[in-house]
């Protein structure tokens, strides 16, 4: 079980590293620019991934999520978004290390996905998929912004 947990964490961390590598070097204007009809920007995608980490590992797995660092509704600063993402990933890793992969979630995600995810293993697999999918989105947007490609971790 320890080997499986280590492997799952390694794949999740690789996707997290890809997200950060892809947006590394973008200026403030590019970070907040949307190139897609849905309106997300690279910075808002990093924030979304922080919320996903918080939701799945804290709210769903443990049943309680810590407070958000910007509760007043104001848009967070760029450094605050990156720190939020990194802090949520650290907290997720703590939960992953302390919880058996077979542990059932304390809360249920709404909808069909909540019915499919029955243990921590399912949460980790979902977060690998979620992070990888959005890393791909970021990769395409980065190429459209400045032509850079192949920006995953080295």
Contacts from 137-145 at CB under 8 Å and sequence distance 24+?
137/40, 137/45, 138/19, 138/22, 138/23, 138/42, 138/45, 139/18, 139/22, 141/35, 141/36, 141/42, 142/22, 142/23, 142/26, 142/42, 144/35, 145/26, 145/30, 145/33, 145/35
This model's pTM is above 0.85:
yes
pLDDT range class, residue 151, cuts 50, 70, 90: confident
CA angle 95, 23, 59 (to 5 degrees): 25
pLDDT single digits (tens) 85-113: 999 999 999 999 999 999 999 999 999 99
pLDDT range class, residue 145, cuts 50, 70, 90: very high
Interacting residues of 133 by C-beta distance below 8 A, sequence separation 6+: none
What is the rounded CA–CA span in Å between residue 107 and residue 126? 16
Mean pLDDT, residues 136-147 taken together: 95
pLDDT single digits (tens) 33-90: 999 999 999 999 999 999 999 999 999 999 999 888 887 778 899 999 999 999 999 9
Answer yes or no: is pLDDT of 154 > 70. Answer: no
What is the rounded CA–CA span in Å between residue 53 and residue 28? 24
pLDDT single digits (tens) 12-31: 999 999 999 999 999 999 99
CA distances from 5 to 98, 104, 121, 139 (A): 11, 15, 8, 27
Which domains, and CATH codes, for the chain?
A: 2-30+40-146 (1.20.120)
Interacting residues of 94 by C-beta distance below 8 A, sequence separation 6+: none
pLDDT single digits (tens) 117-126: 999 999 999 9
Count of C-beta atoms within a 10 Å radius of residue 148: 13
pLDDT of residue 125: 98
pLDDT of residue 1: 61
């Amino acid at each position: 079980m320890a080997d499986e947990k280590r492997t799952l964490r390694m794949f999740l961390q690789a996707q997290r590293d890809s997200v950060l590598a892809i947006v590394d070097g973008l200026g403030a204007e590019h970070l907040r620019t949307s190139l897609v009809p849905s309106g997300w920007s690279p910075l808002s995608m990093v924030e979304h991934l922080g919320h996903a980490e918080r939701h799945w590992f804290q709210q769903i797995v443990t049943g309680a999520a810590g407070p958000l660092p910007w509760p007043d509704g104001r848009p967070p600063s760029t450094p605050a978004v990156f720190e939020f993402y990194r802090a949520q990933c650290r907290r997720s890793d703590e939960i992953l290390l302390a919880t058996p992969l077979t542990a059932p979630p304390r809360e249920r995600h709404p909808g069909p996905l909540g019915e499919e995810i029955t243990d921590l293993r399912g949460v980790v697999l979902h977060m690998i998929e979620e992070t990888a999918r959005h890393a791909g989105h970021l990769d395409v947007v980065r190429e459209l912004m400045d032509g850079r490609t192949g920006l995953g971790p080295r």
